Homo-oligomer: A and B are copies of this chain.
Amino acid sequence: MSGQRADARRNYTRILEVAVDEVAAHGVEASLEQIARVAGVGSATVRRHFPTRRALLDAVFHERIEVLCTSAHDLADAPDPRGALLEWLAAVMDYGTTASGFADALVLEGAAHEAAACATKLADAGTPLVQRAQHAGVVIPEVTVIDLITLITGIALATEHHPDPAAEADRLLNLAMAGISPVP
């Protein structure tokens, strides 16, 4: 039984790992059959762990939020506080671009509180990065991590139908962080 449980856990971890990659590459319509194939398990095993596409996507986005929180923690003592913040924001933007179709679906299903919970978790993780950059005098004191996450959310929504949403979102985030004035 214990061996079976260990197998099941390995399968779960493996399927989730592959699903994170497939959703990053193909969005929320990623093929469950392809995920099973790459993970080296049968479709029935995928369905046993994740009975619905929604259950799999929930796990994928939960996992990505965890990774973003860990990475905020890891960046908290990087040598360049502004670079660390911008690197983390770019990762959040990348998450936002993939998640925006999913976020729409969540809102339509009335699960806006889940999206809000994700935003709160990210805000808590990102706050030290913003504060450190502000203490170093390289980010203006008026900006909050919530402002930055709101801008990222907006950019993800507004670039959703662009031919290359990830690249376009990245470009607009850089524009918004730099502002429109020439550096004197």
Q: Which A residues lie at the B interface, using CB under 8 A?
A: 82, 112, 137-140, 142-143, 147-148, 150-151, 153-159, 161, 171-172, 175-182, 184
Contact = CB atoms under 8 A, between A and B. Distances in A.
Given A140-B180, A179-B180, 20 more contacts: A82-B181, A139-B181, A139-B182, A140-B182, A142-B175, A147-B172, A147-B175, A148-B180, A150-B159, A151-B154, A151-B158, A151-B176, A153-B157, A154-B158, A157-B157, A157-B158, A175-B176, A176-B176, A176-B179, A178-B181
> What is the oligomeric copy number?
2
A180 B112 CA distance: 29
Nearest to A142: B175
Contacts of A157: 153-154, 157-158
Nearest to A171: B147
Most buried by B among A82, A140, A151, A154: A154
A151 B182 CA distance: 19
B140 A151 contact: no
Contacts of A140: 178, 180-182
A167 to B, nearest CB: 13
A114 to B, nearest CB: 14
20 contacts: A138-B182, A139-B181, A139-B182, A140-B180, A140-B182, A147-B172, A150-B155, A150-B159, A150-B172, A151-B158, A151-B175, A151-B176, A153-B154, A153-B157, A153-B158, A154-B154, A154-B172, A177-B179, A178-B179, A179-B180
